[in-house]
Amino acid sequence: MPFSINPPPRLLMGPGPINADPRVLRAMSAPMLGQYDPVFRRMMRETQELYRQVFQTENESTVLVDGTARAGIEAIFVSVLCPGDVVLVPVFGRFGQLLCEIASRCGADVRTLQAEWGTVFDRETIEAGLREHRPKLLAICQGDTSTTMCQPLEWLGALCHSYGALCYVDATATVGGNQLAVADWQLDAVSVGLQKCLGGAAGISPITLSDSVAELIKSRMHLEAGIQPVGYVPGSGPRIASNYFDLAMILGYWGQGVNHHTEATSMLYAAHECARILVEEGLPAAQERHRLHSRALRIGLESMGLRLYGDPTHRMQNITGIYVPTEVDGEKVRSTLLAEFGIEIGTSFGPLAGVIWRIGTMGYNAQRIPVLQTLACLSATLRLLGMKLPSDGIPEALHEYQSQDS
């Protein structure tokens, strides 16, 4: 018989998941409620209202999808898209490729724009793509953790609308640590996960849909045969090609209590607490906190003689790419850091696998202690493996913190 769950000490400084906030872990251990219990329905409404604040929108259709972050993406794509619909994906990393993959599985006609990894798109390039491809939907990541780049989005919604396109953004990796103004930026659909700057666990995906996307989806409502009332008339739009990800049904579940899945109670508790913590801190304060701790980390890393990856003007505020120095085996560094110090950092994908490390400063780990521990232990590891460093980065990082304090 295996032992009960008993994780060893770990500081998760990779691209996510990161250490969950202890308040979120406690929320997940709260007792169950029935899914139609009035108290649970109230918690669902509270959660919707909290995520409207997180997303900076008043979208009525702000709900959770029971699955990891890519469940939210797929639910939106399969509920919005019909086979043959043109989708334009500006790809600047592995998670843009994932958007193509998911849209393609929905039968969409996927067109792409490609940016060199480590850069983002300018407005003109995206406008040219919209003009050429005239997509039904433009889908893009805000932050692509594979390259640590953050795509500017302020102008994207209005630009898409001027070409008759809807605009979807995967903000899983950025929400909570970077500005994400869904209403001001006129984004039509956005999905996220909990396991990064929100300080929670993977397993539930908050999404928000503009009224126009919600109407489009509701026109495709085909209620399950088993629960149709007498005289039921389905929506005029084509039936959605998934039951689990049928957002027409899921919006009905959240809104009118239509029977669909059994809500993932503990994950909803987690989502509720993640948002409560963020709203309590305040969105601008949380963004500034992520900015500060990334900056301290980066100053420390550069003081160790390491070189940062990617366009410095478009970095995410919660993750840093670092070129693996030629003197060491990058995977050996990662495994030593994990085995000897309990600290996890990431490598990357595709052309960047083994080329860069990725260090996250997100959510509960966007704090001084995790940053300074990481710098000290990474320095110790590099020295252990034979590198000479000009500094362990600690005085420089501390100086950055002190200049903030004064």
Hey, which residues between 137 and 196 contact its own copies (CB under 8 A)? Answer: 193, 195
Shortest approach of its own copies to residue 199 CB, angstroms? 10
Distance, in Å, from the CA atom of 185 to the CA atom of 206, rounded to the nearest integer, reads 18
How far is C-alpha 78 from the geometric centre of its chain's CA atoms? 19
Shortest approach of its own copies to residue 258 CB, angstroms? 12
Candidate segments 119-127, 198-206, 212-220, 300-308, binder of its own copies by CB under 8 A: 198-206
Distance, in Å, from the CA atom of 384 to the CA atom of 362, rounded to the nearest integer, reads 27
DSSP characters for 232-263? ----SSPPPS-STT-HHHHHHHHHH----S--
Q: Which is nearer to its own copies, 160 or 221 (CB)?
A: 221
Q: Which is nearer to its own copies, 70 or 315 (CB)?
A: 70
Shortest approach of its own copies to residue 270 CB, angstroms? 7
Shortest approach of its own copies to residue 241 CB, angstroms? 6
Among positions 77-106, residues that touch its own copies (CB under 8 A) are: 78, 94-95, 97-98, 100-102, 105-106
137: nearest Cα among 116, 115, 114, 106:
106
Starting at the earlier edge strand, list the strands of the sheet with 189-191: 61-65, 205-209, 189-191, 166-170, 137-141, 86-91, 109-114
Strand partners, 147: none
97: Cβ contacts below 8 Å, ≥ 6 apart: 91
Can you tell me which residue has the tokens 């003007």?
313
Among positions 121-140, residues that touch its own copies (CB under 8 A) are: none
Q: Which is nearer to its own copies, 77 or 185 (CB)?
A: 77
Among positions 342-381, residues that touch its own copies (CB under 8 A) are: 344, 349-350
> Can you list the alpha helix ranges (DSSP code H) found in 81-230?
94-105, 123-133, 156-162, 211-218
Among positions 211-270, residues that touch its own copies (CB under 8 A) are: 224-227, 239-246, 259, 261-267, 269-270
Question: For the chain, how many residues are written?
Answer: 406
Shortest approach of its own copies to residue 187 CB, angstroms? 22
Q: Which is nearer to its own copies, 3 or 403 (CB)?
A: 3
> Using the rule CB under 8 A, which residue among 50, 337, 356, 377 binds its own copies?
50
Q: Which is nearer to its own copies, 1 or 233 (CB)?
A: 1
> Using the rule CB under 8 A, which residue among 33, 82, 86, 394 binds its own copies?
33
Among positions 262-291, residues that touch its own copies (CB under 8 A) are: 262-267, 269-270, 272-273, 276, 279-280
> Using the rule CB under 8 A, which residue among 14, 90, 143, 393 binds its own copies?
14
Sign of CA pseudo-dihedral 279, 284, 288, 291:
positive
For residue 55, give the amino acid letter.
F
Shortest approach of its own copies to residue 72 CB, angstroms? 10
57: Cβ contacts below 8 Å, ≥ 6 apart: 182, 183, 208
Shortest approach of its own copies to residue 71 CB, angstroms? 5
Shortest approach of its own copies to residue 18 CB, angstroms? 7
The residue count for binding its own copies (CB under 8 A) is 89
Q: Which is nearer to its own copies, 241 or 398 (CB)?
A: 241
Among positions 56-75, residues that touch its own copies (CB under 8 A) are: 66-71, 74
207: nearest Cα among 80, 302, 319:
80
Contact between 327 and its own copies per CB under 8 A: no
Yes or no: say if 404 and 292 are a contact pair by the CB < 8 Å rule: yes
How far is C-alpha 79 from the geometric centre of its chain's CA atoms? 20
Shortest approach of its own copies to residue 388 CB, angstroms? 29
Shortest approach of its own copies to residue 374 CB, angstroms? 14
201: nearest Cα among 25, 62, 23:
25
